[in-house]
Amino acid sequence: MRDEASLCCYTIILPLILFFNGQYLAKEDIAVSPDDRGFLFADGLYEVVLCLAGRPFCLRDHLERLEKGAAQLRFSATGFGWLEEVVAELLQKNDLQSSDALVYMQVTRGAAPRSHPFPAGDTPLTVYVTVRPFDQEPARKARQQGVAAITVADQRWARCDIKSLALTANILASQQAEEAGAFEAILVRDGVLIEGSHSNFAGVRNG
């Protein structure tokens, strides 16, 4: 049986098979080390990719950003082109090769005794990838009918070009929107609308 979980305005079904450190495993068979720096420090990166009818949208662009982030964080490995094959394999293993889906990719610096400086040597990275069915109908209705949003001061760190796992400010903003009865919190920095706490933002002025 697949577990169900609510995400924003739609329901997802958690996948049966995931990719974790070179293996395709059931979710219940995955064990993350308590010394993993992603767990201890949020010392990692992530990407979310939309698949339309089984085709990942701009996957190479996402992987390029992942590689740039890994280089800037000085990970022991920075090449992730091989994840294209992993995504294709996961779509097939979860019978989503012709369906709309979301791909989540996460890479951390790996497991090492807790210390703020990087671990010595080339610590193996922790790589986790999952795919999930995605129902676009709620999003379509939201675009047609509109949703409520609030504005919140952008209190995230200054390096938002690095897609870090550290999302505490996003979580707090999203919770503030939830408590206000709004769908999203638009982050504002120096009078400029930046993006949503969990979504992109674009606007049209003067028609």
97: which 2 tokens? 């090769």
What's the rounded Cα separation, in Å, for the pair 156 and 140?
Answer: 29
Residues with active-site annotation: 163
What's the rounded Cα separation, in Å, for the pair 80 and 84?
Answer: 8
Q: Is the dihedral of CA 121, 123, 89, 47 positive or negative?
A: negative
What's the rounded Cα separation, in Å, for the pair 8 and 201?
Answer: 16
What's the rounded Cα separation, in Å, for the pair 107 and 65?
Answer: 12
What's the rounded Cα separation, in Å, for the pair 13 and 11?
Answer: 7
156: which 2 tokens? 């995230």
Q: How far apart, in Å, do the first and last CA atoms of the chain sit? A: 49
DSSP 201: -
Tell me the HSE value of 37 on the side-chain side, using a 13 A CA sphere: 24
171 phi/psi in degrees, rounded to 5 = -60, -45
